[in-house]
Amino acid sequence: MRFHFEIVVELKEGLLDPQGKAIEDALPTLGFSNVSNVRVGKIIELDVDAASGDEAATQAEEMGERLLANPVIETIRYSYRAEEGRHVSAGMGASSKIEIERG
C-alpha cells in the first residue's frame, strides 16, 4: 500500500525564528497590527510504499530522526493517510489521517 505523509518541521519554541520575526515586522505595514507569535516552518510531503501504516510511520519517523529535522533546534510532526490506489483523485483516497507528535 501507498501512504502519503505530510511532515511538519518547526523551530523549537524559544528559539529565535528570524523569518517569523521578519514577517511579524512586515504585517503591521499592511494594517495587521494585532498579529504576534509568527513562526515559519516547513512541510515535507512524501509517499511511502509499505505493508501497513505502522510500518510506513516507523520508517517516516526514522527519516525524521536521521535527516528531516535537527533535534537540537527543531520539532517534527507527522500526519499520513493511506492511498487506496495510485489513480484515486485527491480527497477520495483519504481513508484515515493519523497524527504523530514527537519532539
**From the CA atom positions of the chain, what is the Rg in Å?**
17
Query: Distances from the Cα of 20 to the Cαs of 61, 92, 103, in angstroms?
Result: 26, 34, 20
Nearer to another protein, 15 or 88 (CB): 15
Q: Contact region for another protein (CB under 8 A) — 19-27, 28-36, 50-58, 83-91?
A: 19-27
Nearer to another protein, 14 or 91 (CB): 14
Cα atoms found within 13 Å of the Cα of residue 87, Cβ hemisphere only: 0
Among 22, 26, 88, 92, binds another protein (CB under 8 A): 22
